Chains A and B, each alone.
Chain A
Amino acid sequence: MLNGTEDEEKWLAEGIAGIQHNAFYMHRALDSNNLREALKYSAQMLSELRTSKLSPHKYYELYMRAFNELKRLELFFKDDSKHDVSVVDLYELVQHAGNILPRLYLLCTVGSIYIKSKEAPAKEVLKDLVEMCRGVQHPIRGLFLRSYLAQISRDKLPDIGSEYEGSVDSYDSDMVLSSSSDADTVMDAVDFVLQNFTEMNKLWVRMQHQLKPSIAISGLQGPGGVREKREKDRSELQDLVGKNLHVLSQIEGVDLEMYKETVLPRVLEQVVNCKDDLAQYYLMDCIIQVFPDEYHLQTLERLLGACPQLQPTVDAKTVLSRLMDRLSNYAASGADVLPEFLQVEAFSKLSNAIGKVIQAQVDMPAVGAITLYVSLLTFTLRVHPDRLDHVDQVLGACVKKLSNIPKLEDSRAMKQVVALLSAPLEKYNDIVTALTLSNYPRVMDHLDIGTNKLMAMVIIQSIMKNNSCISTADKVEVLFELIKGLIKDIDGADVDELDEEDFKEEQNSVARLIHMLYNDEPEEMLKIICIVRKHTMVGGPKRLPFTVSSLVFSALRLLRQLQGQEGDIVGEEASMTPNKIFQLLTQIIESLSAVPSPELALRLYLQCAESARFLMKQAANGCDIEHVAYEFFTQAFVLYEEEIADSKAQVTAIHLIIGTLQRMNVFGYSARLLKKADQCRAVYACSHLFWVDDQDGIKDGERVLLCLKRALRIANAAQQMANVARGSGGPVSLFVEILNKYIYFFEKGNKQITSSAIQGLIELINTEMQSDSTNSDSVADAFIASTLRYIQFQKQKGGVVGEKFESVKL
């Protein structure tokens, strides 16, 4: 038993053989100018097209063979010297063929010559042909026959400027077809194509009801398979039908007026009435693609009016989206077309149509509706970038749709919502604009937690990318409402699913964002800071370390702003005193105790202390601020004493404390450091607290020396401990470091530091190094070498410094 495909191949081969066989005899007849025989064999050849066994694809193959043969026949008909029969007679003669299908193919072939001969008005011949073709009602056979008619008549339509237009007077009285008195017009051409289109569409639609699956043994396939096959067969034929619309669009005489009054209404009538989803979708798309943009714009109402009338299963959203895409591109093509959009109120028409389609198609999934809104938004952003109310309106419509859905779970729909929210950001490159859209946060509320965060990140990234500054407290408030998914835990969020890396990235973004919230006016800036504080303080211990430091530095900057303007600010603005800001700072930093994060808090307190010091230098009420600075220091010390346990952290902390103190010229924690070497370094660093190289800086040489001597004692102790513990020398490099400090203060002119002390230290180091030559330390070696080289360098330089080093022997 043969399967379906093999059967079909067999039938096709038989058909081709039949065509070839008859074509052979037809050629012989043509060569011998035998019209009678030519008609006989061509009719027999064309009879092969009467088969019902082939699928559209195979039928097309057969049709093309016959089509090529008909071209030769046409040449023969055209040349009346070969057969001595007038075209009028020929037109009669071919109608004697026995079967209807061959007869109509032959009639069309002669008809085209008839029109060309101009012995009858084109419109009469065309009308006759298109009517006669009604005789074939089998879908596939009819479609191909009419396709043949469309093909041979294409270049013979009475279009404006064509040779077939309006030449009524030339016909003589004995023509076969009775002519009306009217001249041929483009209207006749349009009528003809529209009629052929309508008939073809009917055949095509009917195919789904009539067409037996071309495969005989359909029992092998389920009913679904049969239907699928049929749809596939049909879609293979769609371009035959669509070709007519293409022809219409090519007719010169179809101007906007005719398109509006005749073409579009009749095409749409057919589209709507056929009630076939495949045809409706294909033809709507075809209309949109083949006719010019400005026609669409001028007939928007009618075109859109058809959309809600389509079958509920038609993918109307894709049709509408494509229309909007086309119009968006048209709008982008030049500013001169934009007034046209305004004049026809394109936006409100599209907006209405979308609303109606969504309403009519109850089963349309959320993703479909939102996709439509994305297209509409894209459209309005292109056409009316200045109309923010349009943007908000689209977002509002989307909110309405979303609020009817209990929970948006479709990830594709979610993606579309993100696209919807991203579009205005991309268009305006400015979040500030989006912040004025009242529906924007309402759309965001419909996102799931993950997507909400994602969108919040998109917003922050947009701000970063465009370097947009958010400068009013109101907008900051709206912004934090938008990104609240990042700012605090949202109910229902699965905390366990948090990815550590993602979380860090998110919080870093928020911290960076805080620096983009800025206003030159201290009053407004303070409001901004208070709003940020209000929102970030509820972020919980995991978020605080990220946000607090940004907020602190933001407030410290405000302090400087205030300071810059201090002259202008009079006492009446009591809300804005530095003290008030320091209070705020204290509260902000204190929130870190919940984390806890003493190391960060310590650093921030020190920053505040130093800022207070600066203010103190300038402000009239220096005493108050000194008190504040002292308070911040106290806080830092308390943290150091009670909270910081890690030895490494202690080292850094003590460096920062000493470094800050050194700069402050105002106020011995080093002794409690765990390691001797660390103690030693901290102590010699303290020496700088007593020697500040400013004009009016403190210069207490004696206490410097005390510090250095103490450092030496600790270094000695470290050395002894190392001896006991490891039986070898300890870190010589500590001595070298101290030597360098001696040199430093020696050069600065501290009288307490003498050249002999330096000499002694060098000798001590040399002894230490020699005693421990087995265990040489290359780092220390290089250090002492470069230090000695430096002394040598200074000696050679001469002058005051050179003299000082004169007595030091190397």
Chain B
Amino acid sequence: MVLVLALGDLHIPHRAADLPPKFKSMLEVQDYLKTLCPDLHITRGEYDEDTRYPETKTLTIGQFKLGLCHGHQVIPWGDLDSLAMLQRQLDVDILVTGHTHQFTAYKHEGGVVINPGSATGAYSSITYDVNPSFVLMDIDGLRVVVYVYELIDGEVKVDKIDFKKTPATTHSAH
């Protein structure tokens, strides 16, 4: 079993001071997970001057192939069909993107497209009401459970999305 924490669009310090205290206390508990797994993957956001982060990144966790991309490169922003193209391009089961500051998760042609939203609830020109949110993925064999933590009116709501991969999805022959 592998836990994957997806945090996005923090925009500290440009648009937000810090994570919401409620998230912070939750994530501090998970700090200990970080000590177990310092495996951190970052792709470049539109305000990152640091060019050392790649535009996209793929990684394999268990039997899943994950793709990361901030998402400002995919136009129209947040458009599922356009993101699906990126998913095909990277040839991944799970595509994690951001930029819109809105949590979304779609099952799409045998894969999943996830946007964990903005963990700080940062200002967005795309959405007015940004609820801070992040995603924790529990990858176990061919199954992934996506937990969404969303802060709504000061309360943390947790949602769960289950996804099962059919063994041959990505590795079928042409």
Contacts and interface: CB of A to CB of B under 8 A. Distances in A.
Contacts of A508: 12-13
Nearest to B44: A652
B123 interface: yes
B160 to A, nearest CB: 26
A788 B174 contact: yes
B46 interface: yes
B102 to A, nearest CB: 14
A793 B109 contact: yes
Majority DSSP secondary structure for residues of B touching A? loop
A401 interface: no
Interface in B61-92: 72-73, 75-77, 79, 81-82, 84-85, 88-89, 91
Interface stretch (B1-9, B14-22, B26-34, B142-150): B14-22
Contacts of B82: 688, 744
Given A560-B128, A610-B125, A685 B13 contact: no
Contacts of B89: 733, 736-737, 740, 783
Contacts of A513: 17
A736 B126 CA distance: 29
A741 interface: yes
B76 A688 contact: yes
B51 interface: yes
Interface in A669-718: 685, 688, 692-693
Interface stretch (A82-90, A341-349, A549-557): A549-557
Contacts of B35: none
B109 A790 contact: yes
A663 B46 contact: no
Among B73, B84, B126, B172, find the residue whose CB has the most chain A CB atoms closer than 10 A.
Answer: B73
A556 B123 contact: yes
A607 B124 CA distance: 9
Interface in A657-671: 658-659, 662-663
Contact of A663 (B12, B16, B77): B77
B49 interface: yes
- Contact-residue bracket for chain B: 35 or more
A467 interface: yes
Given A656-B46, A783-B89, A793-B109, A557 B172 contact: no
B170 interface: yes
Contacts of A467: 18, 21
A603 B99 CA distance: 13
- Contact-residue bracket for chain A: 35 or more
Contacts of A740: 85, 88-89
Contacts of A747: 81
A471 to B, nearest CB: 14
A540 B17 CA distance: 22
Majority DSSP secondary structure for residues of A touching B? helix
Interface string B105-127: 00001100000000000110110
Contact of A655 (B15, B75, B88): B75
B46 A652 contact: yes
A515 B170 contact: no
Contacts of B12: 508, 512
A718 B88 CA distance: 22
Contacts of A786: 88, 91, 170
Interface of A: 464, 467, 508-516, 546, 549-550, 553, 556-557, 560, 599-600, 603, 607, 610-611, 614, 648, 652, 655-656, 658-659, 662-663, 685, 688, 692-693, 733, 736-737, 740-741, 744, 747-748, 779, 781-790, 793
23 contacts: A464-B17, A508-B13, A511-B13, A514-B17, A516-B17, A549-B15, A550-B14, A556-B123, A560-B128, A600-B49, A603-B47, A655-B73, A688-B75, A688-B79, A736-B89, A737-B85, A740-B85, A747-B81, A784-B174, A786-B91, A786-B170, A790-B84, A790-B88
Given A740-B88, A781-B174, 9 more contacts: A511-B14, A515-B13, A515-B15, A549-B14, A553-B123, A607-B125, A693-B79, A787-B88, A790-B84
